[in-house]
Structure 1
Amino acid sequence: MNAMTFANPTDLLLEIPVNVQNRADIQSPSFSNPLSRYQGYINELCLGAVLPWLQEDFAPQAKVWPTTTALPSFWELVNGTALLVDDKRFILVPSETIDLSEIRVPQEWVDLLSWAGDYYLAVQVEADEGYVRVWGYCTHAQLKEQGNYDPSDRTYSLDTTELINDISVLAVTQELCPQIATRGVIATLPSLPHPQAQNLIARLGKSEIVTPRLEIPFQLWGGLIEHGGWRKSLYQQRLGIPEQWSIVEWLQSGVSQVAENIGWERLNLQLSFVGSRGVEETQPDSILSRQLAIAGQTYELLVILQGEPDEPIWRFQLRNATVGAAIPGGFKLRLLTEDLQPFPNNEDIAATAVEQLFVEVALEPGEGIVWEIEPLPDNYDREILKF
C-alpha cells in the first residue's frame, strides 16, 4: 500500500479484510439500481474494516445498529452506517472522494431523533487498494452548530479544520470524559397518517426513482423512513419483493425468509392458556414465536391465533424464555396501529414480577399492528405485522 507512505500521520489506515472484499458484491441483488448498489458496496467495505478495529482496539461490545440484516434497507436509501458502543452511537460516513477538505453527512443521520449519532467518522474508502482511511471525526453538536446545511443534496458539511483529525483522541475522550455532551437539539417530526405513508411508499417504491430521499420534503421523508416498518416496506417495494410480514401467510405457508432471518418461527406445539371466555384453549400450528434479548436475559414474544375462524382474536404474549423465570416489574408490552397510534386496552404493564404479559386484539383482514416492549429489546427495529 504505497498510498500509506503519504498519509497524514494521524490518519487511521485499516485494511479491508479479504473475506469482506470477496463478500462485498458491486452487483448485489439486494439493491434496486446501480447507485444504491454502489452505495451498499462502499458501505459494506467501510463497515468490514472499521467494525473489527472498534471491537479489537476500542470497544469489544461495538455492534451494528439496528441489525446487520437491516443494513440493505438503509443503504438502498441513504449513505452511512450506525454502530452502537454502549450508549453512544457512531455514524460511519464513507466516501471514495480524494478530496478530504470536508465531511458531508446526510441529513437523516443528523435530524432524525432515532437515527442521530454522537460521533461521525469520516472514512475514505480505497476499494481497489484494499484499505480505508479514517481521517477525522466530529460530534452531532458540531454538525448542528458549526456545519453548513446544503438543501440541494440535504447534507450537513463540516470543514476538515473543524474536525478532530487524530482518531486516537476519540478513545481518550470516551475513557476520560464519557459524559461529555455530544448531541445538538433535534426537532421532532410530525407523525404521518397511514394513508399518506402508503401513498408515499407506492410513489417512491419505483426503482427508476434513483434518489427517493430528495423527491419529497424532508419532514415527510423523515417521518416515513424513521418508522422501521415503513422503511422496510419501501425497500421491498423498490426491489419488487412481495409482502413479507403477513401473519396469516406465515401460519399457512411458513415464516418468510426475511422474518426468519431476524428470529421469527412457527411453533409446532400445543400451548395451553386460559382464553378470554375463561376456558382453556389450544390451537396447534397457530403460534408464532420470536426470541428477544432484553436487559441481558432472553424472552419470547408469542403471537397466538384464538377464537373462531371468522372472528379471530390475536394474543400477543411475552414470557421469560427460561422455564419458571418471571418478567420483572416495570416491563411493558404494547400494541400500536400501523401509524403508531394507541387504542383501548393496548398495553399490559408488570407492576411486580409476573409470569407473562399479554394483549389480545381483534383485527380486520389486512390490518397492521406494531409491537413495542419496554425496556427496549436489543437490535429492536419496528415491524408492521399484517393480519
Structure 2
Amino acid sequence: MSSFCVPPTQLLLEVPSQIQDEAWQQSQSYTSPSGRWYAFLNQVCLSTFLPWLQVEYAPEASIDNLPRNWEVVNGCAITLDTKRLILIPDKNLETREFSVPQEWLDIPQWAGDYYLAVQVNPDGEWLRIWGYTTHEQLKNQGQYDPQERIYSLEANQMVEDLSVLWVVRQLYPNEQTQTAIAPLPELSPTQVENLWQRLASPTITNPRLELPFEIWGALLAAPKPAPVNLSQWLQNIVAEGWQTIETLLGTQPDFAFSFRQTSDVNEQSIQRVKVIDLPNNQPVILMLTLTPETDGRVGIRIQLSPRERNLYLSPNLKLTLISASGEVVQSVTARETDNSIQLKRFRCPENTRFSLQVALDEFNFTQDFVS
C-alpha cells in the first residue's frame, strides 16, 4: 500500500495485482486508447469497491453497468436496493473538483442517486473515495461546461466521509436525491444503426461530442440489438444483415467455391457471411462456419477476407473473439500480404454468448452472438 496521505474520513482500498492484471486484459478489447483506459479504470474500480461494499454495508449490491459504453464515456454504476451509485474514477492526483460526464445525469436510464468521486493511483495499486454528492446537487449547484459536456462541483461542496451516506440512507430512506430529467427522443433501429456507423468513422475522434446531446443521449439509451441467434442458422433461418455465400458471390462462382473450402466443412455445416464497410473503402467479408457436434455443442470457425478478389486485407486489421464477460478469448491481426485471417476453431455449448469485433485504427464493428 502506498504511503500516500489520505484523511481518515476517506475510504482507501488496496487493489490486488490480480485485479489489475485482469482489468488490463479485459480493457484490450476496446478500440481507442481512451476506451482502453476507461475500461481499465472502471474495471479496477468495480472489482475493488463492490466486494468491499457487499461485505461492509450492502450484500445485495450489484453491478448495473454497460461496459460497451466505456469506449466513449467514463463511469460505472452499482445498484443498491432502489438507489444507484455512480462511480467516476480518475487518475488525477488533484481533487479540488469533481467532474461528471453529462450522460450520467441527463440520460434517464443512466442517472444515479449518489455520485462517488474515485481517485485511482496511476499505477493502479490503490483507490480512494474522496467524496460524494447527489444527482440533485450536481444539477442544481454544479457548473455545466457545454463544450466538454460535464458537470463539475467544488470539493468543498461534497461530503468527504462515505460513512455519512449509509447513515443518511438509514435515517432518511426517502431522501430526495434526484431532480427532474428531461425526456429524450426515441430513435428507430435504423436510425440507431446508421448513427453508430457514422460515428465509427476514424475522422471522428470524440463521438460523444459529435451529435447534439439529445440525439447522442437517445442513442446511448436505445436498446442494444438482440444477439444473432446461431441456432436459427442451423434451421436455415438467415439473420437480418447476413447472407449465404452463393447470394453474396453468385456472380463469381469460383470465388464463392474457394470461400466454402475449409477443412471442417461437411454436409451439415452452415456458412453465413456479412459485408463490413471499412472506412478505407475496402469492404471485407466476415464468414462464420457452423458445424453441429455430436455432444450438442456447435463448432465455429470465423474468417475475414477482402470483398474483392486479388486484394490483401488492410495491415493491422484485427479480428477478435470476446467472451460475454468482456475478456479477449483470441485475436488475430492482418499482416502486409494477408488475403484472409481467421480465428482458431472453437466449440460452444447451447446458449453461450460471445462477441466478434472487427477493428482498424479507430474503426470498430462489433456483433453479438448466442449459440
Residue 122 of structure 1 is matched in structure 2 by 117
In the aligned structure 1, how far is the partner of 2:160 from the partner of 2:57? 17
Note if 1:189 corresponds to 2:188.
no
TM-score, normalised by the number of residues in structure 2:
0.62
SS, match of residue 144 in structure 2: strand
Task: Please state how far the C-alpha of 1:184 moved relative to its aligned partner.
Answer: 0.7
Is 1:221 aligned with 2:216?
yes
Residue 8 (structure 2) pairs with residue 13 (structure 1): no
Note the alpha carbon deviations across 1:247-285, whole angstroms, 9 max, x for none. 7447564599879769xxxxxxxxxxxxxxxxxxxxxxx
Matches of 1:260 and 1:110, distance apart in 2 = 27
CA contact (8 A) 1:244 1:259 kept: no
The residue that corresponds to 1:364 in the other structure is none
In structure 2, do the counterparts of structure 1 residues 215 and 103 end up closer, same or farther at CA, with 3 Å as the change threshold? same
Alignment correspondent of 1:147: 142
Q: Kindly tell me: are residues 261 and 96 of structure 1, through their superposed partners in 2, closer, same or farther at Cα, counting changes over 3 Å? A: closer
- Answer yes or no: is 1:75 the counterpart of 2:74: no
- After TM superposition, the structure 1 = structure 2 runs for residues 190-339 of structure 1, keeping only pairs within 5 Å, are 190-206=185-201, 209-229=204-224, 244=228, 248-249=232-233, 253=290
**Aligned-partner Cα distance in 2 for 1:207–1:57:** 45
- What is the 5 A alignment of 1:45-124? 45-66=44-65, 70-71=66-67, 73-124=68-119
Q: Helix, strand or coil for the counterpart of 2:179? A: coil
Distance in 2 (alpha carbons) for counterparts of 1:155 and 1:47? 22
Match of 1:29 in 2: 28
* CA-CA distance at 1:245 after TM superposition: 5.6
Distance in structure 1 (CA, Å) of the matches to 2:152 and 2:201: 29
Hey, what's the Cα distance between the residues in 2 that align with 1:87 and 1:59? 12
Q: Does the 8 A contact of 1:245 with 1:384 survive in 2?
A: no
The Cα RMSD (Å) is: 3.1
Q: Matches of 2:31 and 2:368 in 1, distance apart?
A: 22
Distance in 1 of aligned mates of 2:178 and 2:171: 18
Q: Secondary structure at the match of 2:224?
A: helix
Give, in whole Å, the separation in 2 of the partners of 1:201 and 1:255: 31
Q: Report the CA distance between 1:33 and its aligned residue.
A: 1.3
1:228 Cα deviation (Å)?
Answer: 3.3
* Preserved CA contact (<8 Å) 1:105 1:156: yes
Taking the aligned partners of 1:259 and 1:38, their CA distance within structure 2 comes to 19
Q: Distance in 2 between matches of 1:53 and 1:250?
A: 45
CA separation in 2, counterparts of 1:27 and 1:129?
15
Where does residue 167 of structure 2 map in the other structure?
172
CA apart distance, 1:45: 1.4
Return the alpha-carbon distance in structure 1 between the equivalents of residues 162 and 175 of structure 2: 17
CA distance in 2, matches of 1:130, 1:91: 21
* Residues 1:255 and 1:122: Cα distance change in structure 2 (over 3 Å): farther
The residue identity in structure 1 corresponding to 2:3 is: A
Three-state SS of the structure 2 residue aligned to 1:152 is coil
Compute the TM-score of the two structures, normalised by the length of structure 1: 0.59
Instruction: Quote the Cα distance in structure 2 between the aligned partners of 1:210 and 1:244.
Output: 29
The CA deviation at 1:201 is 1.2
Deviation at 1:18, TM superposition (A): 2.6
Counterpart residue type for residue 160 of structure 1:
A
**What displacement does 1:244 show?**
4.4
Q: Deviations over 1:71-126 (max 9, x none)?
A: 2x021120000000111100000011111011111111100111100000000000
Q: Is the 8 A contact 1:45 1:127 kept in 2?
A: no
The separation in 2 between residues aligned to 1:172 and 1:20, in whole angstroms, is 30
Instruction: Count the aligned residue pairs.
Output: 254
Maintained 8 Å contact 2:228/2:369: no
Letter in 2 for 1:161: N
The amino acid of 1:77's aligned partner reads: V
Partner of 1:3 in structure 2? 3
Structure 1 residues 106 and 96 mapped into 2: Cα distance closer, same or farther (>3 Å)? same
Inter-CA distance 205–88: structure 2 relative to 1 (3 Å threshold): same
Query: Is the Cα contact below 8 Å between 1:35 and 1:210 reproduced in 2?
Result: no
CA contact (8 A) 2:10 2:128 kept: yes
Could you tell me which amino acid in structure 2 is paired with residue 43 of structure 1? N
Q: Secondary structure at the match of 2:3?
A: helix
Q: Secondary structure at the match of 1:178?
A: coil
Deviations 1:340-361 (A, max 9, x none): xxxxxxxxxxxxxxxxxxxxxx
Write the distance in 1 (CA, Å) between the matches of 2:110 and 2:8.
32
Q: Which amino acid is the alignment partner of residue 53 of structure 2? A: L
Report the CA distance between 1:58 and its aligned residue.
1.3
Q: Secondary structure at the match of 1:229?
A: coil
Q: State how far apart, in whole Å, the 2-side matches of 1:99 and 1:174 are.
A: 29
- Asked if structure 2 preserves the Cα contact closer than 8 Å seen for 1:33 and 1:210, the reply is no
Distance 2:166 2:18 in 1: 27
Provide the residue aligned with 1:376 in structure 2: none
In structure 2, list runs of 5 or more residues that go unmatched: 236-269, 271-289, 291-297, 301-320, 327-349, 353-366
Deviation at residue 194 of structure 1 after TM alignment: 3.5
Counterpart AA for 2:37:
Y
2:126 equivalent to 1:131: yes
